[in-house]
Amino acid sequence: MHNALNRLQATFGFFTSCAFTLALIIAVLSLIPIPASTSSPSASVAVRNVQVVKGRPHYYSPKREEYAQIRFDLNADLSSLFTWNTKQLFVYVTANYPNGKDGQGDLSETVIWDTIIPATSTPYSWQNLKQKYFPEKKKSNSKSRRDSNAKTKTTDLVKPGVLSLKNQKPKYQITDPSGVISERSNATLQVSWNLQPWVGSLVWDQGYLGQRIGKWNAGKAGRSEPFDFPPLKGTKTDTVKDKEGPRTPEAGSASPVIEI
C-alpha cells in the first residue's frame, strides 16, 4: 500500500511527463507554418553616413581610441515570422569588416543596432484573459481612459515585424581591439534576426531551421553594398579614394540593395 507521499510523487511524475510531451508536440508543430505563409521575410539596409572620430566611445572606457558612427536606412518585412507560437523577434544590424586595412584578414562582426519586437496580443493572451475574468477597476480620470484607448488602437493597427527607419543612429559604437578603425575597406552592414517562440528552440536566420521556417537566404538578404571607413575626422582628407573613386557614402547617398 503506497502512502500519500508516494502517490503525490507518482502524480507529479505523470504530470511532468504529459507536460513535456505536450511541449514537444507544440515545438514540432511550430516548425510547420500553419496556416502557410504567403510571403517570406525580407530586409534591405543601406549606409547613409560614416564618421570616424577619436575619443571615449563609452563613459567607462579607460582610454581614448578611434570609433565609428554609422547611420543607415533599414526596411524590413518580417511579419511572416509571427505565428501562434511566436513570443518575440530579436532584430539586429551588424557591421562586418576585415581586420586589415587592405580589405584582407579575418572578418570582424560588431552589433551597431538592435530591437525586440513582441508579438501582438490575441484573445487568448494572458493579459486579455486576466482582463476578461478579473477586470480591473475603472479609473475615474476620463483623460487616462482616452489615452489608454488611443494607445490600444494605435498598437492594434501596427503590423508586427515591419520596420522602416531612415537615417537611423546606431545604438552602439564600433571599436577595434587595435584602437584604430579608420580607413578599413570592404565593410558591409548585415540585418539578422532571432525568433524566440513560447515553446521550442530559438531559430536564427543563418541557421538550418531559419532557412526552413523563414526561407531567408543568409548572406544575400539584408546586406548593404561594400563601403570604406573614412580617415579620422579632422584630418586633411575626409573621403577614402581608390582607383574607382570615392567609396565612402556621404549623407543622403543611400543606394538600394538586394531584396528577396
The reply to whether 192 and 210 lie within a common domain is yes
What confidence tens digit (pLDDT) does each residue in 109-153 have?
999 999 999 988 766 566 676 777 778 766 555 555 555 554 444
Between 235 and 128, the higher pLDDT residue: 128
The reply to whether 7 and 49 lie within a common domain is no
Contact 40, 214 (CB under 8 A): yes
Say which DSSP state 80 is in: G
The reply to whether 226 and 116 lie within a common domain is yes
Burial label, 241 (beta-carbon count in 10 A; 0-12, 13-18, 19+): exposed
Which residues form the domain of 26? Answer: 1-30
Which residues lie below 8 Å from residue 204, measured CB to CB, with a gap of 6+? 192, 193, 194, 195, 210
Residue 143 within any structural domain of the chain: no
Strand locations in 130-232 (E): 162-168, 188-197, 203-204
Q: How many domains does the chain have?
A: 2
What confidence tens digit (pLDDT) does each residue in 83-115 have?
888 889 999 999 999 877 665 667 889 999 999
Q: In one letter, which amino acid is 78? A: L
What's the whole-model pTM score?
Answer: 0.72
How far is the first Cα of the chain from the last one, in angstroms, to the nearest whole number?
66
The reply to whether 63 and 116 lie within a common domain is yes
